[in-house]
Structure 1
Amino acid sequence: MFNGVKSWWLSFGRVLSSKAKRFCALALAVLLLSWAVSCGTGSSQQASGRAEVEFWTMQLQPQFTDYFNNLIAAFESENPEVKIRWVDVPWSAMESKILAAVSAKTAPDVVNLNPNFASLLAGRNAWLYLDSKVSSEVRESYLPNIWKASMFDGKTFGIPWYLTARISIYNSKLFEQAGVAKPPQTYAELAQVAKQVKEKTGKYAFFVSFVPEDSSEVLASLVQMGTKLVDESGKAAFNSAEGKAAFQYWVDLYKNKLLPQEVLTQGHRRAVELYQAGEVALLNSGPQFFKTIEKNAPDIASVSLPAPEITGQTNKKSVAVMNLVIPQNSDQPENALKFALFVTNNANQLQFAKEANVLPSTVAGLKDEFFTKATKDAAAVDKARVVSAGQLKNAEVLVPAMKNVNQLQKFIYENLQAAMLGEKPVDQAISDAAKSWDSL
């Protein structure tokens, strides 16, 4: 739930067919949304003479029911004229539900989303822009790189909430068998480790999915290797020396059989399965995954250790952001913003981050000892939390919020796959991807 990677865990063919259906449904919903946003405002809701603010979260019940009930009670005590109505929506249903709600003018007043999906609707003027409504003092209480994640065309459409930062989890026993002294920190080091692990153990160093619908990890790796995805006008910028080098990196690993063949058809779930089976030496995931390993594969958990996320020459690290947005047709915009800032203020963020074992997006929260110190005999998940928190100074949302970002990923992945399979040379693959993007 918190590792920032959304996987459908289907075969490539089934994913393509399901995505086609989903695209049609989303296209229809977006058309309805565009019409609805241009017409009227939502109906006013009152609760016993008090203004009602409807608040949607994403799959936080029942684990955090007590936390939110207490949070809401505290806000209502400070603001007796406001009533909060909390609705928790399953992760898989949120996109379709919010599209339908906004298009039907029944949207909630505060919504928990991620910047990538929220930016799709920001481009259609669905959210309240906040730059003139949030003081510079309040804005500066949040991590600056994280605040930028909820901006579209230079305008702020969301308030940062909780974060997850991907780290490397590695099998120290496999590394020892392969004679690898320390986990790789860069992609250049990873290529050498991949060769060494394969030669010494017959296993793979790692698994990363090239399925367009599964994960943006490969797309983010291009940015970490110095590739600029799009220019200021939105045109393709990845057909560059850096982009070609990044394409060639993945092509070489695949052709040299240092990646499992199924990286072209399987998603992140397969990476998890292979790591827990001891067939892969390294996994990119969130710190919370240590608990999953302990439950599913205790023998692997006993030899698993955390390390910083692998990066390129830019030293950029990735972060997944959850934010709060306010529909522009909310009839309670002032109360909605007041509540969103209350949910995400430093004290409340810090409490939630500790309960959920995620990271806060506030400057002060990240300085808490919970995120900066771990004893030598601390549990692996606690050490991993400190590693992930320590990366945030160089962390950002590597794939920027932009219109049609899913199409950008699709064009790059499909052409990169063609190069990996020898169907196209790298120069043609990257050129074709750029042409496809620019033709949108």
Structure 2
Amino acid sequence: MKRQLIAAVGVAAMVVGLAACGSDGKKADDASGKAKDYTGKTVTAWFMDGSAPQAWQDGVKADFEAQYPGAKLNIQVQKWDGIGQKVTTALSEGSVDLLEIGNTQTAGYAATGGLADLTSAKADLGGKDWAANLNESSVMDGKQYAAPWYFSNRVVIYNKALWTKAGITGTPKTLDEFYADLDKLKTTEGVTNPIYLPGQEWYTYFGLIAGSGGKIAKQDGSNWVGNLESPEAKAAFATYQKLQSYSSAPKDKDEATPQQMTLFPKGDVGAMIGLGWEAPAAKDMPAENVGYFPLPGVTADKPSGVFLGGSNLAIPAAGKNQDLAKGLLKIALSDKYEGQMATTGLIPNKASLNNLATTPFAQAAIPASANGATTPNIASWANVENNPNPIKDFMTAVLTGTDYDTAAKKYDAEITKRLGQKQ
């Protein structure tokens, strides 16, 4: 999934001193018990811009080169723009030994045979502790083609000053309580949008479907088909439509048009649903005026579901240093370094490290993450997200007056068509 999840969630908070857990720093030995000499071996790893903070990179590099004497780690930071073709080329050439891939992109690369099968290495990598819903995008046809690295999800980001002005105390625990708060904001002077929610914010809609136990697409025999006609998708849209009714945001645009993060700091928006990097910086709005809570669910014991965006780490099948790459992967996924990612406000790949995610955003995101899901783990899903995205067009159609069932039938046909196409 293209994004810069860390950009505004406290990279400076990276804690380098978590050495008490994770990688043990022991040198790799050969069968005779002597330390192996890896002189002349260079492992090349690609991480995406905004993903791996410098302190994390430096620590991983130092531990890797200490554990594998003589080997060198060449970390290269890549830009998201144009990365698809670069990855495709690297996979065919075997010029990269380990790389970061968006979780919605993993199935596509695995389906082409570009990623190494890590099934037999899963236990050694710590896979028995990975959260099942976070690991789902790394598995295809029962085989482990990548490892879950870090994730994030959307929460409600709200203007505390406006909520106080509206007479609201505390944060809502149920959707009905949230609607009541939005009703108060609606009649508060100076509030133009109780919540800013554009009509095509399909990630939030996806989460609402997942939280109700539904799926946006499903398997029908050997085929994948659209599932907007399901009762769960229809009920989820009713919730989305009610929330959107409190907003004057365009019904035919998504959260990036205009960027909702540029509107919230103006001070007249009560709340928005967004990622951590969309929260206003201190220079734009006083930190004490910004609060976070998970989008509530029907009952207080369970927040609404969320779309889980994030990155996996994979080893190219054509890579020339497979064993060293697995060693690097084990270090990167260790509690020491996975824990460091958690301190930046991201969701780590195992629940036991969630207590390290102490930023206000992360504390709101983690309760909902357990109730989250990713898009169908099939290579052709990318066809659905290609513009014009039929899910977005469906949402606009219903919000502007088209009968839900009629629209769902039409756009399910389009989703099914795209899922049947090769990527």
**Retained in 2: the 8 A contact 1:222–1:246?**
yes
1:154 matches 2:152: no
| Equivalence for 1:337 | 326
Q: 1:49: Cα distance to partner? A: 4.9
> Match for 1:436 among 411, 414, 422?
414
| Equivalence for 2:48 | 58
Q: 1:231: Cα distance to partner? A: 2.3
* CA distance, structure 2, for counterparts of residue 70 and residue 307 of structure 1: 33
C-alpha change, 1:51 and 1:65, in structure 2 (3 Å) is same
* CA distance, structure 1, for counterparts of residue 348 and residue 64 of structure 2: 20
Structure-to-structure mapping, 1:168-317, within 5 angstroms: 168-201=156-189, 202-211=191-200, 216-233=203-220, 234-251=224-241, 254=244, 256=245, 258-268=246-256, 270-287=259-276, 290=279, 292-298=280-286, 301-311=287-297, 315=303, 316-317=305-306
**Retained in 2: the 8 A contact 1:248–1:426?**
no
Q: Secondary structure at the residue paired with 1:295?
A: coil
1:371 matches 2:357: yes
1:411 matches 2:355: no
> Match for 2:78 among 84, 89, 98?
89
C-alpha change, 1:250 and 1:164, in structure 2 (3 Å) is closer
Q: Match for 1:75: what amino acid?
A: F
1:420 matches 2:410: no
Structure-to-structure mapping, 1:342-353, within 5 angstroms: 342-353=331-342
C-alpha change, 1:137 and 1:85, in structure 2 (3 Å) is closer
Structure 2, unaligned stretches of length 5 or more? Answer: 8-36, 419-423
1:362 matches 2:364: no
CA RMSD of aligned residues (A): 3.1
C-alpha change, 1:385 and 1:334, in structure 2 (3 Å) is same
Q: Match for 2:310: what amino acid?
A: V
**Retained in 2: the 8 A contact 1:207–1:271?**
yes
Identity %: 18
* CA distance, structure 2, for counterparts of residue 307 and residue 282 of structure 1: 10
* CA distance, structure 2, for counterparts of residue 71 and residue 3 of structure 1: 20
* CA distance, structure 1, for counterparts of residue 383 and residue 199 of structure 2: 14
Q: Secondary structure at the residue paired with 2:81?
A: helix
Structure 1, unaligned stretches of length 5 or more? Answer: 6-46, 373-381
**Retained in 2: the 8 A contact 1:250–1:420?**
no
| Equivalence for 2:378 | 402
Bigger share in helix: 1
* CA distance, structure 1, for counterparts of residue 98 and residue 63 of structure 2: 17
* CA distance, structure 1, for counterparts of residue 231 and residue 202 of structure 2: 24
- Tell me the TM-score normalized by structure 1: 0.75
C-alpha change, 1:209 and 1:108, in structure 2 (3 Å) is farther
1:384 matches 2:339: no
Q: Match for 1:96: what amino acid?
A: Q
Q: Match for 2:111: what amino acid?
A: G
- Tell me the TM-score normalized by structure 2: 0.78
How many residues of Structure 1 are paired with residues of Structure 2 in the alignment? 376
C-alpha change, 1:411 and 1:391, in structure 2 (3 Å) is closer
**Retained in 2: the 8 A contact 1:346–1:364?**
no
Q: 1:279: Cα distance to partner? A: 2.3
* CA distance, structure 1, for counterparts of residue 171 and residue 322 of structure 2: 49
**Retained in 1: the 8 A contact 2:195–2:271?**
yes
C-alpha change, 1:385 and 1:420, in structure 2 (3 Å) is closer
* CA distance, structure 2, for counterparts of residue 154 and residue 120 of structure 1: 15
CA deviations on 1:96-120 (whole Å, 9 max, x unpaired) are 32133334x2441100122101222
| Equivalence for 2:61 | 72
C-alpha change, 1:361 and 1:431, in structure 2 (3 Å) is same
**Retained in 2: the 8 A contact 1:207–1:263?**
no
Q: 1:339: Cα distance to partner? A: 0.8
**Retained in 1: the 8 A contact 2:292–2:364?**
yes
Q: Secondary structure at the residue paired with 1:350?
A: helix
Q: Match for 1:302: what amino acid?
A: E
C-alpha change, 1:317 and 1:248, in structure 2 (3 Å) is closer
Q: Match for 2:365: what amino acid?
A: S
